[in-house]
Amino acid sequence: YSPTAGIPELRDAVAERYSRYNPELKGKNVIITPSGSTALLEISQAFVDPGDEVLVPSPGFVIYAPHAKLAGGVPVEYKLTEGDFQPDIDYIQSKITSKTKMIVINNPANPTGGVLSEENRNALADIAKDKGIMILSDEVYDSFIYEGKHSSFLPYLDRAIVAGGFSKMMAVTGWRLGFAMANEECMDALIKMQYHVCASPSMPGMYGVLGALPSIDPYIENARKVYKARRDLITKRINEIEGMSLIPPRGAFYAFPSYDMDMPSQELANELVKAGLICTPGSAFGTFGEKHLRFSYAASEEKIDKGMDILADTVRKIRGGRI
């Protein structure tokens, strides 16, 4: 077995890498977890009590609300602004009650590709401080931002816990290794929780990641260029389709276009599957995800073009009453 919080060398390496956002970050502020998803689960299990309300983004990644429920909490959806998909600050404030324990932020975001602005990051940090609310910031896509900069919550570890992972950074999704960063008090609770969840993360995977981390930046820089070109291609193709609209996503590798047809997203996704194109209906990501579809552009430009041909043809048939 490894130490419950992971091997010290990797904890130190992660702290050094992310000290660009918080110079005071040390290895003792890092826990290595068996996947970023496990980090999110352990955070909710450690800090959400029965009856606590957890504000989750809508549209947002599919596990945030279930994690709140598994801890006995109550997930409460909050809206994002249309197009650039920023947290709606006024809406969030209207949903805060005496039972609100946590606000979940995803930056950059799945499914929208939205990148949190520094202004909104600061506003959310102020709300958390004023109301005594914890922020859980899922920043697993921090390596993939195409315009602007990453506004991390790492400077606010007095009120935030930041989750990350190696799966997206290094394209090792099958290795199942992630991490979380927190102040020392929260870290003690997370280490205790991790012991009861898994005892410890995988030793071979940790040493593999440790060996790759010092030389990963050239790979990431090249990957960003590739993904940006794919992002530009899928944005262009979608915006050429009548009734569909997409502002270029600034991060991650997902496109989340809206459409104007009078058809539930699940039904539209089913029609696309019949035609040979797999995507995710917006309704899968929460109440406010309806009338959208999610596409991943972590595929070759040839496959993206082929998929967009199917999308354009299917939408044309639906609009023409042939489906």
Q: What is the pTM of this model?
A: 0.95
Cis peptide before 214 (omega within 30 of 0): no
Query: Quick check: helix, strand or coil at residue 78?
Result: strand
Buried b (16+ CB within 10 A) or exposed e, 84-118: ebbbbbeebeeebeeebbbbbbbbbbbbbbbbbbe
Report the pLDDT averaged over residues 201-226: 96
Q: How far apart are CA 97 and CA 109, in angstroms?
A: 25
Tell me the per-residue pLDDT of 61-76, one tens digit each, with 9 for 90 and over: 999 999 999 999 999 9
Cis peptide before 59 (omega within 30 of 0): yes
Report residue 284 as tokens: 């899968």
Tell me the per-residue pLDDT of 123-145, one tens digit each, with 9 for 90 and over: 999 999 999 999 999 999 999 99
φ, ψ (nearest 5 deg) of residue 244: -115, 150
Sequence-ordered list of residues with C-beta below 8 angstroms from that of 132, at least 6 positions apart, any chain: none
Q: Where are the domains of the chain?
A: 8-215, 217-319
Residue 97's nearest CA partner among 63, 159, 51 is 51
Fold of the domain built from segment(s) 217-319: Aspartate Aminotransferase, domain 1 (3.90.1150)
State the number of CA atoms in the 13 A half-sphere of 118 facing the CB.
5
Helix (H) or strand (E) holding 281: strand 280-281
Tell me the per-residue pLDDT of 73-117, one tens digit each, with 9 for 90 and over: 999 999 999 899 999 999 999 999 999 999 999 999 999 999 999
CATH of 8-215, one of 3.20.20.100, 3.40.1190.20, 3.30.70.1290, 3.40.640.10: 3.40.640.10
